[in-house]
Amino acid sequence: MPKTVLIIEDDKNIAELLRLYLEKEGFETAVANDGGAGLRVFKEKEPNLVILDVMMPVLDGWSVLKEIRSESNTPVIMLTAKGETMDKVSGLDLGADDYIVKPFEMKEVLARINAVLRRYEPAEEKPRRLEFDKLIIDLDSFELLVDGVKVDTPPKEMELLFHLASTPGRVYTRNQLLDEVWGFDYFGDSRTVDVHIKRLREKLEGKSEKWNLKTVWGVGYKFELL
């Protein structure tokens, strides 16, 4: 299921920009334009993450954060024009998970959201070997077997294919793949994903009628079971 992000921000232009971008990236969103409304929506929607501005009418961000922390461990990213160290320390001391200073890049916001959400995912032993018709992806040995034949594959291509195949049918945007496969600190061109997908297709095309690596036009890519 899509994760829900609550945006509590009194600047309606910024709130709308965040809403549009996050929905494009596959999140559901809710928006409130003051601290009081933000708390009401928080209790109603029970979001997976909150983006919280500091300077707002009715209740400021610090007050909202204190109220949220009194009843919930939902991750909170503070969003503010204040960049002083003490403001950051205050937010983190009150229980904020991260802190973004305006002006910001949307790609940075997305990367930080995904990084914080990953920290809250329950730890579990995930399989490192996936098997499909005529296809074995083994991250322990970093081996790709196609129709019983080992295919030389660079590590990032292996990781990309494994990531897609781990959740068949799920569509990933290029930015999601950059963040989740290349990592939080990678801010390269999204065409990097296209190049790796092209190389994988050259190795996998026509090998099975039970799965394929599919482009979802205008969105991204998915590993599809047929």
Q: Which of 152, 154, 166 is nearest to 195 (CA)?
A: 154
Over residues 90-130, the pLDDT tens digits come to: 666 778 888 888 888 888 899 889 888 988 876 566 678 99
Please enumerate, as own/partner, the contacts of 155-158 that have beta carbons within 8 Å and a separation of 24 or more: 156/181, 156/182, 156/196, 157/196, 157/199, 157/200
CA distance 219 to 14: 23
Q: List the domain boundaries for the chain.
A: 4-120, 129-225
Task: Give the per-residue pLDDT at 101.
Answer: 84
Answer whether 163's CB lies under 8 Å from 181's CB.
Answer: yes
End-to-end CA distance of the chain: 21
Pair type for strands 149-151 and 28-32: unpaired
DSSP labels for 97-119?
A: SEEEESS--HHHHHHHHHHHHHH
Answer whether 75's CB lies under 8 Å from 99's CB.
Answer: no
CA distance 220 to 167: 14
Q: Taking residues 178-203, what's their average pLDDT?
A: 79
Task: Give the per-residue pLDDT at 187.
Answer: 54
Which one is predicted more confidently, 55 or 186? 55
Give start and end residues of each alpha helix (H) in the chain: 12-24, 35-45, 61-69, 85-93, 106-120, 155-166, 174-177, 191-204
Q: Is 123 helix (H, G, I), strand (E, B) or coil?
A: coil
CATH 1.10.10.10 fits 129-225, yes or no: yes
Kindly tell me if the per-residue pLDDT of 190 is higher than 70: no
Which one is predicted more confidently, 182 or 198? 198
Least confident of 9-18, 31-40, 54-63: 54-63
CA distance 154 to 123: 27
**Structure-block tokens of residue 165:** 């195949």
Which one is predicted more confidently, 149 or 119? 149
**Structure-block tokens of residue 129:** 């070997």
Task: Give the per-residue pLDDT at 218.
Answer: 85
Backbone phi, psi, residue 108, to 5°:
-65, -45
User: Confidence class of residue 204 from pLDDT cuts 50, 70 and 90?
Assistant: very high
Q: Which of 60, 103, 112 is nearest to 82 (CA)?
A: 103
Kindly tell me if the per-residue pLDDT of 188 is higher than 60: no
CA distance 152 to 162: 15
Percent of the chain with pLDDT over 70: 89
Q: Taking the CA atoms of 131, 136, 137 and 138 in sequence, report the sign of the dihedral they define.
A: positive
CATH 3.40.50.2300 fits 4-120, yes or no: yes
H/E segment holding residue 151: strand 149-151
